Chains A and B, each alone.
Chain A
Amino acid sequence: MFPFPFIKLAFGGVLVNISQGDPQPQLITNEKIRTGRAAKKTRFKNKGYFLLLLPPLIVFIIGMIIPLIMGIYNSFTDWDGISLTKSWVGFANYLEIFKDEIFMKAFKFTFLFMIFNTIIQNIAALLFAVILDSSIKAKNLYRVIIFSPVLLSPILVGQIWTKMYGDILPSLNDLLGTNLNFSLFSSPDTVLSGLLIANNWQWIGYWMLIYLAGLQAIPKELYEASTVDGGNWWQKFYHITIPMLAPSITICTIGIATGSLKVFELIVASTNGGPGDASQSLIMYIFNSAFTSQRASYASAMSVIFLIVLLIFAFIQLKVLRKREVEL
């Protein structure tokens, strides 16, 4: 119903004139666009759509924007989370953050987690996608197997891997007669590797699907042309697949990076920041400061810093990766 009256009016003039043999088509002036009856109807419909947008917008403002502003305000006070008084302290919380060793340790851990995750998950997901896009048998079965951990809650994944490292894998030692150290969660040196394995096990399937979709959008003619020109599989991969996948690479890299920086449930369900605080992620430290240590304003200041770091990251990645995208 919607487009036809508009087109009739906007182009009606042209149609009518052409059919009448007039070689000069009627100009559609801005005046006509703004005041025409169809334009008014469009604006009214737009107002209607805006009104429908209002409920989620209200919820978004109440649930996210207002707490964000309140949190930023709190970071400049010395509030402890439950007392009724708050007093302004300026930048004291922020200055303390930069001298805080525990913050630096948590930041370093989270950062390393993000870097390794991004590299491993991206490459593995891409590899699996390429393999499972080819014509091997039972590829749907493999896709399901690789994707199913995505459906589990991170809490469950944490519990599963705790049991794996604690009981199941060490019992492999008894079976095979070997003496490998499988208890990756028990030492501060190996806990990062343990968490990386658990996290990648869960999420590779998800990013693999995005790469699969991207792969299937690459026109087959490019590969055929490359074969005609005598290109081998590496050249095809490097010069066709990767550039054409650039939008997917953008999505996956930014998604994995920002998701890894926010890791929380997996760690709470598996090591709880331990042993000691070797695997305490930044979000965990913020949460513990706010609720266990009763330093809500300090936690707010850390959250603001974290938000800025996340924004900078996303921005840099977006800029770098968008440049490499190829438009069809």
Chain B
Amino acid sequence: MKRGFMKVASVLVVLGLLLSLAACSSKSSSSADGKITLKVLDWNTTNKNEAQKAIVETVKKQLPNVTLQFENINWDKDFNSVMQTRIAGKQLPDIIMIKGGDHPKYAQFLMDLSNESFMKEFPNDVRKTLQVNGKDYAVPYTANFQGVFYNKQIFEDNHIQIPKTWAELMDVAKTLKDKGITPFTSHFKDYQMGNSANQFATLEVFSKYPEWGSDLQKGKVSFAKSPEYKETFQHFKDIYENTEKDPFGVDFTGAADMFANGKTAMWIIGTWAPAQIFKNNPDFKLGFFPTPAVDAENTKLIMQSDYTFSASKATEHPKEVKKVLEILATDKNLAKEYINQVQTQSLLTDVVPDVKSDYVNDINTYKNAGVIDANIGNVQIPWPYQQQYTTYIAEWLLGKKTLEDALKATDDFKSKVKFQTN
């Protein structure tokens, strides 16, 4: 071996390794001929290829030099860790799909859109629910509705009336149980406990006290002393006594399978479920009614701003990003195509989905009777806090804690929670 060979070889290897590290980047890129690629973080899972295609093609038609590159993750499991690592590495994608309620956490890294003309497309009350400190950081895109989905065939066969209060819901459950039909579908293995907790809290707690979460932060109220939260926890016991045999062993796909095949009668979930139900059983007769509260006056349709599009403050192509956001905010054909694929509702005015199913008509009927925003609770009581107290509820249901212990543990956990300051 020649003398200098080892030295040269090792230097080249080091350079090679370092260069390969530099190639890993998730920021946007622009090539010499003016073509720009913008990176988009997406967590939609319903018909995601078709939905993305619709956006990519529309953008390509209006902005020929801009290509969108989508990155798909799972909101439930990955969103927080992906955002954190990207922020730490200064590699935030140019456009980010952010779930309504998550904006306060990330606002400091997002582009301020308050003065953009396209924001005027949205009515004030939609903008207000997503604003952080009075500023807009996202283009609202879709909304989901949450409540009780039910098997219309089972209800018809057994002449069941739609319940308007929680007590009536329990009567329905008893009727079904006596006939050998499992009333509720539960998938406590994944996020359903958190979602149900948020639904119940929205109806029982936040309808009466819209500032309950802020009061909790200030120490004015507590879970243990709140009869409304006790009701919320109590609802879980009622469900647990009227659900399938092994709720902690079932996840979302298993639940959809059970419900679509008629093994259970009702499923407390949101409008992201029907797509999965129809995958299992395209002929399913699906109905919807709002989750009943203890008092009939609090029974309202729960709505939540779901998909919104935000932009990174540090993007290298702010002009193109704003143009893409403008397309999303103003192109109603694109919005309609998108919600048809994703089978959800749009937040753009006068955009309604083509999906012909009973549950869509039911939702439209209930929309007029009164809507409440699920994000009131989500913003004031952060999602990790909600997930943690559902752990205590689970321990209570499984007999490891009393109800009082569960409420007290929820209060004790407060010191570990990072509240979002609005």
Contact = CB atoms under 8 A, between A and B. Distances in A.
B418 A293 contact: yes
Contacts of B395: 188, 276
B106 A82 contact: yes
A272 B391 CA distance: 12
Contact of A52 (B13, B88, B108, B394): B13
Contacts of A185: 248-249
A276 B105 contact: no
Interface in A21-57: 44-45, 47-49, 51-52, 54-55
B9 interface: yes
A302 to B, nearest CB: 12
A188 B398 contact: yes
A298 B9 CA distance: 44
Contact of A82 (B109, B383, B387, B400): B109
A1 to B, nearest CB: 9
Given A54-B14, A293-B416, A293-B418, A166 B109 contact: no
Nearest to A188: B398
B418 A84 contact: no
Nearest to B190: A272
A198 to B, nearest CB: 14
Contacts, number: 100
Interface in B1-40: 3, 6-7, 9-11, 13-14, 17
B108 A84 contact: yes
B84 A82 contact: yes
B120 to A, nearest CB: 30
A306 B246 CA distance: 34
A291 interface: yes
Interface in B107-130: 108-109
Interface string B369-409: 00000000000000110011001101100101000000000
Contacts of B189: 271-272, 274-275
B83 interface: yes
Nearest to B6: A48
Contacts of B80: 291-292, 294
Contacts of A186: 246, 248-249
B221 interface: no
B160 interface: no
Interface in A98-138: 100
A166 B249 contact: yes
B384 A294 contact: yes
A271 B11 CA distance: 48
Contact of B418 (A288, A291, A294): A294
B421 to A, nearest CB: 11
Given A81-B84, A295-B418, A166 B246 contact: yes
A52 B190 CA distance: 48
Contact of A188 (B249, B400, B417): B400
A82 B246 contact: no
Is chain B's binding surface mostly helix, strand, loop or mixed? helix
Contact of A291 (B7, B84, B108, B394): B84
A59 interface: yes
Nearest to A277: B391
Given A54-B14, A276-B395, A82 B87 contact: yes
B81 interface: yes
Contact of A51 (B7, B83, B190, B392): B7
Interface in B227-278: 246, 248-250, 254
Interface size range of chain A in the complex: 35 or more
Interface residues of B, number: 40
A183 interface: yes
Contacts of B384: 288, 292-294
A275 B188 contact: yes
A253 to B, nearest CB: 33
Contacts of A47: 6
Contacts of B254: 166
Nearest to B399: A188
A59 B16 CA distance: 12
A51 B6 contact: yes
Contacts of A316: none
B416 A274 contact: no
A55 B13 contact: yes
Contacts of A58: 14, 17
B249 A80 contact: no
Contact of A183 (B188, B246, B417): B246
A291 B246 contact: no
A276 B190 CA distance: 10
A99 B87 CA distance: 31
A4 to B, nearest CB: 15
Contacts of B387: 292
Nearest to B81: A291
A294 B246 contact: no
B189 to A, nearest CB: 6
A206 interface: no
B394 A275 contact: yes
B17 A52 contact: no
A87 interface: no
Nearest to A51: B10
B14 A82 contact: no
Contact of B7 (A48, A59, A81, A165): A48
Interface in A241-281: 271-272, 274-277
A75 to B, nearest CB: 16
Interface string B195-227: 000000000000000000000000000000000
A183 B248 CA distance: 10
B108 A55 contact: no
A275 B9 contact: no
A276 B395 CA distance: 6
A51 B8 CA distance: 9
Contacts of B87: 82
Interface in B83-105: 83-84, 87-88, 105
A188 B9 CA distance: 57
Nearest to A184: B249
A82 B248 contact: no
Interface in A49-98: 49, 51-52, 54-55, 58-59, 80-84
Contacts of B417: 293
Given A82-B106, A294-B384, 7 more contacts: A44-B3, A49-B6, A54-B10, A55-B10, A187-B398, A276-B400, A293-B416
Closest 4 CB pairs of A and B: A48-B6, A51-B10, A276-B394, A291-B81
19 contacts: A49-B6, A51-B11, A82-B109, A84-B108, A165-B249, A183-B249, A185-B248, A186-B248, A188-B395, A272-B190, A274-B248, A275-B394, A275-B398, A277-B391, A291-B84, A292-B383, A293-B384, A293-B418, A296-B84
